């Protein structure tokens, strides 16, 4: 029992991998799984057999992650492949995202919840157009930790000069992007140098291995202890003798730490109250943390419904707005058009919205802005403003990923056709 509880209590790090085609993303993930002993014997046997059928003399670790048949045949990553593994220190969820520009939407989806991004650079080719694109998307999504793995060092004789030049070129490319501290690691995913164990061939590098970075990267950013956010998902009013007058508001904490007795505001109404009880099922708690699922009972009888938001009285208050500016990534084959109407879902709230302005499209290869756009095609990224039928309670995406993001839904097919990262409102 203690072993299971210890595993459940372990920290979870979500990370994404990105790079150009043939940079070795799938091989790197396969190496992480293989060297951390996170694959079963039958999986390894299947990969060994598949490697032989493909004519490979060595085990092709990329086959551990390339699950789609088309990917195995072409040797590329098309869809987002999620993999799970654990070490004695931490649990991990990997999102292996595609490198082609036509799969930009897949990368945005896979990286949207990441705490860390691994960007692979082929040591032979250095910083290329795809490196700029993947770094830009990581910046756009506010991923707080970036690790640049310079792969295939074995093909450049483990040259320190080659590695140093790539580091310099990448740092110069970073200037227009809002990316914090970046770690650089020289690796060979194929042979395992500096992936899990220290390389005996890259003697000039005295930094951590990739696994050491993954195990020790802080993830405190997940809990914003100052600004409490709890979008109301469900109003609980049991009809029973045990709870004759109970009225609770259930949802998932999207920010902060909430305690009994805390003063809260209910938005968009602006009414105030205090927390009477906090509970999970029938267990009462003194405090709850992000991202706990909770039920809140307030001291006052207030009209609250799904889509409202309970926020703390301390710290920065969210904005209530019907005109919202955001960076959008368009997912659908049908273009987003100026004045187009869509269902907007933000946290637990839903309303109708219209595209009021397309300010400019981001060229994610050159980082230039393209103006006078009347529509956006699939995989386009742009800054736009929408106007909604009802006000939304929002934060900027940089401040809170949950309350600062929204999705566009087609009114007729109910497909998710785009996602937005909120910049602000009016």
Phi, psi of 91 (to 5 degrees): -95, 155
Question: Residue 256 pLDDT more than 60?
Answer: yes
More confident site: 306 or 281: 306
Sign of CA dihedral 129, 130, 131, 133: positive
* pLDDT band with cut points at 50, 70 and 90 for residue 141: confident
pLDDT digits (tens, 9 = 90+) for 101-118: 555 667 777 677 788 999
The model's pTM is 0.81
| Window from 75-84, 249-258, 325-334 with minimum mean pLDDT | 75-84
Structure tokens at 85: 């593994």
* pLDDT band with cut points at 50, 70 and 90 for residue 424: confident
pLDDT digits (tens, 9 = 90+) for 185-216: 999 988 899 999 999 999 999 999 999 999 99
pLDDT, averaged across the chain: 84
Of the candidates 13, 5, 49, the one whose C-alpha atom is nearest the C-alpha of residue 32 is: 13
Question: Residue 385 pLDDT more than 60?
Answer: yes
What value does the mean pLDDT take over residues 19-44? 72
CB 385 within 8 A of CB 324: yes
Strands 283-285, 257-259: pairing kind? unpaired
What value does the mean pLDDT take over residues 245-272? 93
pLDDT digits (tens, 9 = 90+) for 301-324: 899 999 999 999 988 899 999 999
| Window from 213-227, 233-247, 320-334 with minimum mean pLDDT | 213-227
């Amino acid at each position: 029992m203690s072993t299971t509880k210890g595993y459940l209590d372990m920290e979870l790090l979500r990370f994404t991998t990105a790079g150009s085609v043939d940079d070795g993303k799938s091989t790197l993930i396969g190496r992480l799984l293989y060297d951390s002993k996170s694959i079963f014997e039958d999986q390894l046997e299947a990969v060994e057999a598949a490697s032989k059928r493909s004519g490979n003399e060595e085990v092709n670790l990329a086959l551990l992650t390339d699950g789609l048949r088309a990917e195995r045949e072409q040797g590329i990553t098309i869809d987002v492949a999620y993999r799970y593994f654990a070490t004695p220190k931490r649990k991990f969820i990997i999102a292996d995202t595609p490198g082609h520009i036509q799969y930009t939407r897949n990368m945005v989806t896979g990286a949207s919840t990441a705490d860390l991004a691994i960007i692979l650079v082929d040591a032979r080719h250095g910083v290329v157009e795809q490196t700029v694109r993947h770094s830009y998307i990581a910046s756009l999504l506010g991923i707080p930790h970036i690790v640049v793995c310079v792969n295939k060092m074995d093909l450049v004789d483990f040259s320190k000069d080659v590695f140093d030049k790539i580091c310099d070129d990448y740092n110069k490319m970073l200037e227009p992007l809002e990316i914090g501290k970046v770690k650089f690691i020289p690796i060979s995913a194929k042979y395992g140098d500096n992936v899990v164990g220290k390389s005996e061939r890259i003697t000039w590098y005295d930094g951590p291995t990739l696994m050491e970075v993954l195990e020790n990267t802080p993830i405190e950013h997940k809990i914003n202890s100052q600004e409490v956010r709890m979008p109301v998902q469900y109003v609980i009013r049991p009809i029973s003798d045990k709870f004759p007058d109970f009225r609770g508001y259930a949802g998932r904490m999207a920010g902060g730490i909430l305690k009994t007795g805390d003063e809260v505001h209910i938005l968009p109404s602006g009414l105030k109250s205090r927390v009477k009880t906090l509970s999970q099922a029938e267990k009462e708690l003194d405090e709850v943390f992000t991202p706990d699922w909770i039920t809140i009972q307030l001291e006052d009888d207030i009209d609250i419904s799904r889509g409202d938001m309970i926020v703390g009285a301390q710290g920065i208050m969210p904005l209530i707005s019907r005109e919202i500016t955001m960076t959008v990534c368009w997912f659908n084959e049908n273009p987003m058009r100026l004045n187009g109407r869509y269902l907007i879902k933000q946290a637990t709230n839903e309303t109708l919205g219209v595209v009021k302005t397309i300010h400019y499209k981001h060229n994610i290869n050159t980082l230039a802005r393209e103006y006078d756009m009347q529509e956006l095609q699939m995989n386009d990224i742009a800054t736009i403003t929408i106007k909604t039928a009802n006000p939304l309670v929002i934060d900027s995406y940089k401040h809170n990923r949950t309350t600062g993001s929204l999705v566009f839904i087609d009114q007729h097919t109910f497909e998710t056709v785009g996602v937005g990262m909120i910049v602000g409102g009016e």
